[in-house]
Amino acid sequence: MNTNSENKDAYPSNLYVGGNSPPANPSGYNGSPLDASKMELEKRLGLYQVFLKIYEHNRGLLDEILQLENASSPSLSGFTPAYVQGVVQGQQAYINTNLVDGKTQRLFQPQRVWVIGRDRRIALPVRDQWMSRRHAAIQYVHNEGFYLLDLNSTNGSFVNGEPVLKRILLQDGDRIRLGSLAISFFFGQTCQTVEAVSPELLTQINGITQPHPAPIADPMFTSILEEEPFLAKAPKNTFTIHRQEAASENPTSPSSLPHLSAAERSEILDRFLSSRQTPVDKN
């Protein structure tokens, strides 16, 4: 068996130097599991470098990418993107959020501090491997607002792409990133009364919300049913009556007679209606 001859057929001599050996694999992959693992590691390293460049030049874009990833995750299919809404009513402060079990909830905390992390015993437990057990906290300060505090987390906390060194006052519409989770923050301090709805529009709305009346029966069909009660309501034991009559009149007949089918009832009704119609004068 001539190995060199086979190699020359697979690799033409004009494609490599010397004509005796094929060129080296540019990817370095020879089919072994070790080489495959090395290639996968290099791909991940390259992806990490890309994200690092995005983070250095445009942190807000990275937050948007992570938010899209959270929204398209199979475990969050049909799930509204994560959010936290700070609410203040008089002396009482609370938050509305869907971070807990993916359901919107109103959470009161007597100390006005809501801790976020992987710990199940805190106010806002989140299953995220990139998040610390006690990653960050949202704190309300009277007459100031809601603050985000980083609790010396491993991967840090970010607001609008900027790292939170100690604490930062949150504004309406801020984008928070903790680990790989992107959170939208909302805060409304003012309450306004909107204008009343016009009477015409209110009438239209009431017409939609009120139950519709039952449909009115055809007067002609109603009169037919009144004149011919057997068309309106069948006896309770119709099947038994027919079977008994058939058995007494003709013992050899089948032991039971079926009810009239829908087509038979329709034919009887058509004949009855045609007998009541007035012929049209052709002249």
Rounded to an integer, what distance in angstroms lies between the CA atom of residue 96 and that of residue 83? 8
**Strands of 162-163's sheet in order across:** 105-108, 92-97, 83-89, 181-187, 175-178, 157-159, 162-163
Rounded to an integer, what distance in angstroms lies between the CA atom of residue 261 and that of residue 170? 73
φ, ψ dihedrals at 273, nearest 5° = -70, -40
pLDDT at 249 over 60: no
Residue 253: pLDDT band (50, 70, 90) is very low
Question: What does 57-97 look like in DSSP terms, one character per residue?
Answer: H-HHHHHHHHHHHHHT-GGGTTPPPPEEEEEEETTEEEEEE
For 257-282, the pLDDT digits (tens) are: 456 666 666 666 666 655 555 554 54
Q: How many CB atoms neighbour CB 162 within 10 A?
A: 11
- The answer, as to whether pTM is greater than 0.95, is no
Query: Which one has a higher pLDDT value, 266 or 132?
Result: 132
State the burial class of residue 112 (Cβ atoms within 10 Å of its Cβ: 0-12, 13-18, 19+). middle
Q: What is the mean pLDDT of residues 118-125?
A: 94
Q: What is the dihedral of CA 24, 27, 29, 30, to 10 degrees?
A: -20
The percentage of the chain sitting over the pLDDT mark of 90, rounded to a whole number, equals 35
**Top-confidence range, 74-83, 161-170, 231-240:** 161-170
Rounded to an integer, what distance in angstroms lies between the CA atom of residue 201 and that of residue 20? 89
What pLDDT is recorded for position 238? 52
Query: What residue type is 5 in one-letter code?
Result: S
Rounded to an integer, what distance in angstroms lies between the CA atom of residue 107 and that of residue 138? 12
Query: Which one has a higher pLDDT value, 78 or 170?
Result: 170
Q: How do strand 167-169 and strand 136-141 relate by DSSP bridges?
A: unpaired
pLDDT at 20 over 70: no
